[in-house]
């Protein structure tokens, strides 16, 4: 898919075009049905609806997002009583939210000031389901739930899919939001650029580079977030040098940068249950008001040397244990996993010099905690 870098600003926008809605929530609903051991026929009977209705929910032909809020809550409560796992029910909630964001990009001519994408700082559980139809990566709560070996009505895909035209429209919308956002709309621009980075079009890298050069950060936090976003998109595309540069120039020997990094990660993975309406909390006085257990678990699980975020994961884990040493004294499964994996990571040859030094520091911290 390709999008001319000027078309998002000067091309004809015409009237809104309709498309399938509810494709993400439909896929999550199907996973829940299969986790419960139901066919479309038996679930339709339990819900007192037609089999075609259930099939429509799962394909997005009859979007779950089109249901009245009260009716959707009734369905959710019914799934809960039937034994659906809390993690999958939460994933369904986030998938409904992701479908609303997708619909906004695919069917509406939204002005930057009205875009829902700039309304709050998104967290990982939402971004994972939103990115599912963009990159084909199954969100963590759904992994391990294999499709049941039973007949289904019609073709079934492994996950939500966008057509080529839908991808063109979605990424065109992200580019337009990023290009037209200005002033206090920095959050919208940052999040639009992040999502635009999932585009596999040949000109994506050049367009992103052009957008980076156009940045004129007006304050420390904006500059810090811009640097982090550039490094994150580059790492996702396999450029580890930019991430190492970000760590060396923006985090090392910078207490404010280290605190911002930990606060951002903690919010991203859900240490805070309250949504933030702007990025200001990252540098605020209450930015470190979280326990760290979920962040500890997430960072240890993400110690995969082949991934572009490996260096940032190692550095953040090192900084987290320096700020929250009690995490190593809990005797948790995460702590035991870290102790087991450290020798393997240190014996490998892929870690950078900085990452290896910080892994050694983590091992020393473990020895102190055990003394």
Rounded (5°) CA angle 122-108-234: 40
Residue 61: inside a domain, yes or no? no
| pLDDT of 4 above 80 | no
151 within some domain = no
Q: Please name the residue that has the structure tokens 């699980």.
A: 301
Q: How many CA atoms lie within 13 A of 184 on its CB side?
A: 6
Residue 274 lies in a domain: yes
Per-residue pLDDT band for 287 (boundaries 50, 70, 90) equals: low
Residues 73-119 have pLDDT tens digits of: 999 999 999 999 999 999 999 999 999 999 999 876 788 988 999 99
Q: How many domains would you assign to the chain?
A: 1
Query: Could you tell me if residue 133 is inside a domain?
Result: no
Residue 244 included in any domain: yes
326: containing domain: 237-370
Residue 255 neighbours by CB distance under 10 Å: 8
Local confidence band at 161 (pLDDT 50, 70, 90 cut-offs)? very high
Residue 14, SS3 per DSSP = coil
Distance CA 4, CA 312 (A): 33
pLDDT band at 209 (very low <50, low <70, confident <90, very high): confident
User: How far is Cα of residue 323 from the mean position of the Cα atoms in its chain?
Assistant: 25
pTM of the model: 0.86
Task: Please tell me the distance from the alpha carbon of residue 118 to that of residue 142, in angstroms, as a whole number.
Answer: 27
Q: Are 208 and 233 in contact (CB under 8 A)?
A: yes
At 158, the pLDDT band (50, 70, 90 cuts) reads: confident
Residue 115: CB atoms within 10 Å: 22
Measure Cα distances from 247 to 21, 92, 227, 262 in Å.
40, 35, 10, 13
Looking at residue 286, its pLDDT comes to 62
Task: Decide if 343 is inside a domain.
Answer: yes
pLDDT 10s digits, 20-57: 679 999 999 999 999 999 999 999 999 999 999 999 99
Query: How far apart, in whole angstroms, are the C-alpha atoms of residue 308 and residue 41?
Result: 44
pLDDT, position 108: 65
Q: Is residue 45 part of a domain?
A: no
Which are the contacts of 228, defined by CB distance < 8 A and separation ≥ 6? Answer: 246, 250, 261, 264
Q: Is residue 31 part of a domain?
A: no
């Amino acid at each position: 898919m390709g999008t001319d870098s000027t078309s998002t600003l000067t091309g004809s926008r015409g009237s809104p075009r309709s498309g399938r809605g509810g494709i993400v929530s439909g896929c999550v609903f199907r996973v829940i049905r299969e986790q419960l051991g139901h066919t479309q026929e038996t679930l339709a009977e339990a819900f007192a609806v037609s089999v075609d209705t259930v099939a429509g929910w799962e394909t997005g032909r009859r979007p779950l997002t089109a249901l009245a809020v009260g009716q959707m809550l009734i369905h959710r409560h019914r799934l809960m009583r039937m034994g659906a796992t809390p993690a999958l029910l939460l994933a369904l909630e986030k998938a409904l939210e992701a479908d609303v964001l997708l619909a906004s990009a695919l069917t509406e001519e939204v002005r930057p000031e009205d875009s829902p994408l700039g309304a709050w700082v998104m967290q990982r559980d939402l971004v994972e389901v939103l990115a599912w139809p963009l990159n084909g990566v199954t969100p963590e709560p759904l992994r391990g739930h294999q499709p049941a070996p039973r007949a289904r009505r019609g073709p079934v895909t492994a996950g939500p899919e966008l057509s080529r035209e839908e991808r063109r429209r979605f990424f065109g919308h992200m580019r337009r939001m990023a290009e037209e956002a200005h002033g206090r709309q920095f959050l919208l621009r940052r999040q639009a650029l992040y999502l635009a980075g999932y585009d596999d079009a040949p000109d994506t890298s050049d367009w992103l580079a052009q957008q980076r050069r156009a940045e004129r950060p007006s304050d420390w936090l904006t500059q810090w977030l811009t640097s982090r976003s550039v490094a994150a998109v580059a790492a996702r595309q396999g450029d580890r040098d930019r991430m190492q540069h970000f760590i060396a120039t923006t985090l090392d020997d910078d207490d404010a940068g280290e605190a911002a990094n930990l606060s951002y990660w903690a919010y991203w993975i859900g240490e805070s249950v309250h949504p933030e309406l702007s990025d200001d909390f990252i540098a605020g006085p209450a930015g470190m008001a979280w326990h760290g257990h979920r962040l500890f678990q997430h960072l240890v699980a993400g110690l995969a040397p082949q991934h572009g975020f490996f260096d940032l994961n190692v550095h953040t884990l090192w900084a987290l244990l320096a700020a929250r040493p009690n995490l190593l004294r809990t005797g948790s499964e995460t702590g035991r996993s870290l102790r087991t994996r450290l020798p393997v990571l240190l014996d490998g040859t892929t870690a950078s010099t900085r990452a290896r030094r910080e892994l050694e520091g983590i091992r020393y911290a473990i020895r102190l905690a055990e003394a």
